[in-house]
């Protein structure tokens, strides 16, 4: 890419992707949000308040850690982990919820709603809502409520109301549907904190901007520690917020390869997966045009992944654009491979990753050995694995 990257356009398009595809009642709401976002992202006072929260409340900057033992074991590139798992609440999700909650406060909204899959975004939202004294309602598919019960309990402790969604596949997409229905009904006093880089404009750009602190820090830390830029970035992609957060500040660095790792579930060839960029087609869902898992009639297909956070039939429109332009690549990793990645990092480095992030670990196990020892990979370790203990134990036949 020779020209400086400057996406999206003013109506939220990343090439043919993105845009605003919502019912008329939400148009004034997204317009109001966009005006506030455009205003405050350039407001020094807002930025200063957000930066202070990110430093003192979230614990930023997160470390960039050289996983030396694991790198030697794999025998190829040097692996660095961007430690988003060390953030307050245990994942990258809080970078975005801090930003959006401050925006909600500026806009005078008194009620926060959110959707969640793995529960990390729900917890991060309930956390900031508690701190700011805002009412908080979190929608979560009932399948996810069952497999992420620890996070459900955390949200309730934080004062949030968790609503189990029983419609459709009872996972993340259905939670998003229900949150949109709530928003359309309570649009006057309610701010919808979307957790990923999807939804109608300005969400994909706004969430990216709040998450881009990951990549800005990683870029600076890599230069400080190694004197050079990384050769490759690896991050898991469900909706794609942790990946775009890492990738975006490197987009103009042509030498840096980007790998967004989708969840292949039982294997893309089985049809039981959550990999729209690998095996989906463009379409419109949840307010934007992007790659989707949909059938020939345009109905959304149920998705499968061991990780609730990746169990989503769409993907952020910017990833769709980065795929089409070839700037980023989107390989996929099966459930079983992700488990290998989970165990490898845990045993080699004493760090237990989230199952979502484990997809990025597993892909790195394939990628690193193909690279030279003087080359550098940065992986976004987007969340910690504590929430997945029950899922892991069940999968491996262990009673806790």
Partner 1 sequence: MSRLAATFEALAKTGRKALIPFITAGDPHPNFTVAMMHAMVEAGVDVIELGVPFSDPVADGPVIQRASERALAHKMSLKRTMDIASEFRQTNQQTPVVLMGYLNPIEAMSYEGFANAAQRADIDGVLTVDLPPEEAKECCDLLKARGIDTIFLLAPNSSDERIKKMDEVGSGYLYYVSLKGVTGAGHLNSVDVENKLQQIKQHTRLPVAIGFGVKDAETAKTIGNIGDGVVVGSALISKIEAHLDQPELAKNEIVALLTAMRLALDSLSAL
Catalytic pick from 71, 82, 93, 170? Answer: 93
Catalytic annotation on 255?
Answer: no
Distance of closest approach, residue 31 Cβ to partner 1, in angstroms = 9
d(CA 84, CA 322): 23
Residues counted in the chain: 400
Cβ-based nearer residue to partner 1, 33 or 354: 33
102 within 8 A of 182, measured Cβ to Cβ = no
Residue whose entry in the numeric block shows the structure tokens 């459900």 = 152
- Which residues make Cβ contacts (< 8 Å) with residue 213, sequence separation at least 6? 54, 60, 95, 245
Interface residue list for partner 1 (CB under 8 A): 11, 19-25, 27-29, 167-168, 173-174, 177, 180-181, 184-188, 281-287, 289, 292, 294-300
d(CA 64, CA 44): 27
Cβ-based nearer residue to partner 1, 289 or 327: 289
Strand partners, 334: 265
Catalytic annotation on 91?
Answer: no
Distance of closest approach, residue 183 Cβ to partner 1, in angstroms = 10
Query: Computed from CA positions of residues 95, 171, 8, 190, in that sequence, does the dihedral angle turn out positive or negative?
Result: negative
Hey, what are 13's tokens? 């398009």
Cβ-based nearer residue to partner 1, 32 or 340: 32
d(CA 316, CA 12): 12
Distance of closest approach, residue 299 Cβ to partner 1, in angstroms = 4
Distance of closest approach, residue 37 Cβ to partner 1, in angstroms = 18
Catalytic annotation on 382?
Answer: yes
Local structure of residue 169 (DSSP, 8 states) = T
Query: Computed from CA positions of residues 30, 31, 35, 36, in that sequence, does the dihedral angle turn out positive or negative?
Result: negative
d(CA 232, CA 3): 21
d(CA 140, CA 153): 13
φ, ψ for residue 109, nearest 5 deg: -80, 140
Distance of closest approach, residue 23 Cβ to partner 1, in angstroms = 4
Cβ-based nearer residue to partner 1, 43 or 135: 135
φ, ψ for residue 363, nearest 5 deg: -70, -35
Cβ-based nearer residue to partner 1, 179 or 378: 179
Cβ-based nearer residue to partner 1, 288 or 334: 288
Cβ-based nearer residue to partner 1, 188 or 386: 188
Catalytic pick from 115, 178, 318, 356? Answer: 115
Distance of closest approach, residue 40 Cβ to partner 1, in angstroms = 22
CA 62 to chain CA centroid, Å, is 16
Distance of closest approach, residue 165 Cβ to partner 1, in angstroms = 11
CB atoms within 10 A of CB 55: 11
Nearest to 346 by CA among 333, 362, 335, 331: 362
Residues belonging to the active site: 93, 115, 382
């Amino acid at each position: 890419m020779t020209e400086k990257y400057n996406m999206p356009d003013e109506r939220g398009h990343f090439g043919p992707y993105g845009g605003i595809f919502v019912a008329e009642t939400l148009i004034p709401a997204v317009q109001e949000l966009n005006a506030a976002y455009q205003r405050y992202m350039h407001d020094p006072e807002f930025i200063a308040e957000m930066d202070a929260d990110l430093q003192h409340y979230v614990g930023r900057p997160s470390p960039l850690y050289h996983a030396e033992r694991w790198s030697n074991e794999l025998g190829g590139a040097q692996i660095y982990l961007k430690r988003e798992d060390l953030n307050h609440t245990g994942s990258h999700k809080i970078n975005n919820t801090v930003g959006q909650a401050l925006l909600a406060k500026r806009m005078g909204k008194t009620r926060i709603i959110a959707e969640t899959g793995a529960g990390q975004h729900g917890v991060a939202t309930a956390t900031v809502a508690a701190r700011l004294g805002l009412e908080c309602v979190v929608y979560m598919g009932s399948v996810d409520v069952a497999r992420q019960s620890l996070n459900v309990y955390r949200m309730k402790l934080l004062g949030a109301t968790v609503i189990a969604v029983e419609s459709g596949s009872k996972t993340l997409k259905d939670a998003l549907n229900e949150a949109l229905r709530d928003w359309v009904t309570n649009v006057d006093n309610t701010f919808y904190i979307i957790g990923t880089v999807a939804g109608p404009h300005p969400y994909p750009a706004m969430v990216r901007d709040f998450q881009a602190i990951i990549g800005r820090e990683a870029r600076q830390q890599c230069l400080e520690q190694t004197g050079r830029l990384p050769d490759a970035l690896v991050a898991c992609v469900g909706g794609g917020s942790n990946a775009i957060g890492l990738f975006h500040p490197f987009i103009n660095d042509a030498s840096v390869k980007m790998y967004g790792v989708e969840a292949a579930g039982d294997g893309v060839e089985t049809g039981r997966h959550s990999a729209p960029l690998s095996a989906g087609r463009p379409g419109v869902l949840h307010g934007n045009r992007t790659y989707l898992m949909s059938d020939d009639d345009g109905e959304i297909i149920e998705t499968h992944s061991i990780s609730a956070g990746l169990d989503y039939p769409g993907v952020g429109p910017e990833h769709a654009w980065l795929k089409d332009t070839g700037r980023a690549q989107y390989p996929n990793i099966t459930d079983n491979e992700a488990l290998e990645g989970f165990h490898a990092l845990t045993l080699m480095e004493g760090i237990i990753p989230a199952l979502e992030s484990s997809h990025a670990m597993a892909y790195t196990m394939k990628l690193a050995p193909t690279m030279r020892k003087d080359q550098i990979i940065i992986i976004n370790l987007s969340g910690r694995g504590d929430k997945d203990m029950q899922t892991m134990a069940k999968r491996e036949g262990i009673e806790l």
